[in-house]
Chain A
Amino acid sequence: MRAVPVQLKPQSEPRELTPGRRALLRLLRRRGAMLGLVIVIFFVVIAIFASSIAPQDPLSTSWSAVRKAPSAQYLFGTDEIGRDVLSRVIWGARASLLAGLVSVCIAMAFGVPIGLLAGYMDGWVDGLISRFTDSMLAVPFLILAIALAAFLGPSLTNAMIAIGVSATPIFIRLTRAQVLSVKVEDYVEAARAVGNPHWRIALRHILPNILPPLIVQATLAIAAAIIAEASLSFLGLGQQPPAPSWGSMLNTAKNYVDNSPWMAIWPGLSIFLLVLSFNLLGDGLRDALDPRHK
């Protein structure tokens, strides 16, 4: 009799999902967030390929086509000096997205390290940073951005700096609060016990664990920064004419609202859609990354 070798079937491995994957799956199940993501991608594509997509030159004027209503030739109509509104809306996406991303990058580049420092180092460093943050938060966001933009001078770059600086305290406060809750965890204690230097504990052990709320805040901050840039441009403190920007288009459009409403509808709708999509995405990310949040 021959012994039949028993083949042990490898047991199916339990499907252990990493927290990141679980969050991604939760995000993919949120219809609102997915809609937001699709709209964001749509605007990013438009902004990148503006030169190929825009039917006309956004700066070229035509005195024979002043304030023409939407038609087959000008789908969104023309403005007060005969420029194609559709082309300007398409090019305007660049200014808005750039302002949203760059200002939030500025805010995070300053806010996260300062917040890490405040949360990690107790004592007077924390006290000083926290009081300074409170003071910046005491000046309403847009008023601070307007004041900074006014003193720096009107331009898109200065508007981005002004918005970025104004948004910094929110990131300092959030990072600090997260560090305070994470630094008492066992794994941080363990990292300290084995003799890791402070910078390594902060960057390798604390920072990766506080990223989820920062990502959520960054997404929502982009929405706020896009509205802020549009507001500054609306007031004449952002993108300078003739360069296209949704805010400055609305500023001009308000003077012609009685007989050329299309000049106001499309740039405003674009701001609304882009901001809405970042808000939807931010809400979805918050639900996905922080399941305790309801």
Chain B
Amino acid sequence: MFRYLIKRLAAIVPTVFFVTIIIFGLQQLLPGDPAIMLAGEEQDPTVIAYLHKKMHLDEPLPVRYAYWIGGVFKGDLGESLRIQKPVLELIQEKLPVTLELAAIAMLIALVIGIPAGIISAVAKDTVWDYAANIVALWGLSTPNFWLGILLILLFSVSLGWLPASGYVSPFEDLKANLAAMIMPAFVLGNAIAAVLMRHTRSAMLQVLNADYVRTARAKGLGERAVILKHALRNALTPIITLGALEFGTLLSGAVLTEQVFSIPGFGKLIVDAVFNRDYAVVQGVVLFTSTVYIVLNLLADLAYFFVNPRLRG
């Protein structure tokens, strides 16, 4: 087990290294002198000179990379030119909002996706199965920003039940916070519910034909106990990994959802940075997202390893 842990940990080193190469490389896509581009519309010569010095633009590329990565290791993801704040500080400010959104979205996805997948597998080729598959296809094919607009139209404009946009901190007013979060979280959870439903269905279909399920039935156990205790427990194991993989979908979705509902989170931070040509923030956010994604995948792999006795053997 210790060897597996070391091997798995060692495997992420080159992955993280290449991620930093990709993100550093993004800067090279800017046409012309990066300092001029990064200096924004004002093209202030002082800022350009400052950037030249700060980014070591007169040095060769590998040296510049070494300076940049050295800073990253010290927790320096650069500085926002617009807001004049360290990128890491901006991320720390915005991340809790997106984490709350993502957590509620994941909860909605689990509550819809897993039961729908179970029903679809148990009632295979019945009207329930078809209905669940149609809902999954809808979830996979609907652009979440459109779904967001449709929900605003229904629940805010027509019915007047929920606020169309805005954000209230849960520490200020929990009720108002949930009212503002429920629509964006549903929009975000919708697509993940579809993925979860499809995976649960196919995992359940495999498990339902397994010998131990047949044995459980032969022992005279009730169908409910067979499905929930024997089949589902085994079918759900691969879904742990899926949860980590869907983190990427959550963050990508959050970029659009936060834009539609004007939520000041992580997604909005990257969009605003793109439009303000605040490239250091874009790079910092991408680096942060990828690192979290890699770590989550590692944790999911380890969790999978611990819950699956066959792998531990």
Contact = CB atoms under 8 A, between A and B. Distances in A.
A143 B270 contact: yes
B29 A268 contact: no
A144 to B, nearest CB: 7
Contact residues on A (Cβ < 8 Å of other chain), bracket? 35 or more
Main SS class of interface, A = helix
A261 B22 contact: no
B143 A146 contact: no
A152 interface: yes
B43 interface: no
Interface in B127-150: 137-138, 140-143, 145-146, 149-150
B293 A254 contact: no
Contacts, number: 143
B139 to A, nearest CB: 10
Given A150-B282, A294-B202, A280 B271 contact: no
Interface in B23-52: 23, 26-27, 29-31
Interface string B239-267: 00000000111011101100110000000
Given A142-B252, A143-B255, A150-B279, A276 B26 contact: no
Contacts of B252: 140-143
Contact of A261 (B14, B140, B153, B255): B153
Nearest to B31: A153
B96 to A, nearest CB: 19
Nearest to A142: B252
Contact of B22 (A139, A140, A253, A258): A139
Most-contacted residue by chain B among A131, A134, A143, A271 (CB, 10 A): A143
Given A138-B294, A143-B270, A254-B260, A268 B15 contact: no
A70 interface: no
18 contacts: A131-B18, A134-B18, A135-B18, A138-B297, A139-B289, A140-B252, A142-B256, A143-B248, A146-B270, A146-B271, A227-B143, A230-B145, A231-B145, A235-B274, A237-B274, A268-B149, A272-B142, A294-B202
Given A235-B256, A257-B149, 17 more contacts: A132-B18, A138-B293, A139-B293, A142-B255, A143-B289, A144-B286, A147-B26, A147-B270, A147-B282, A150-B282, A234-B256, A236-B275, A250-B146, A254-B152, A264-B153, A275-B140, A275-B143
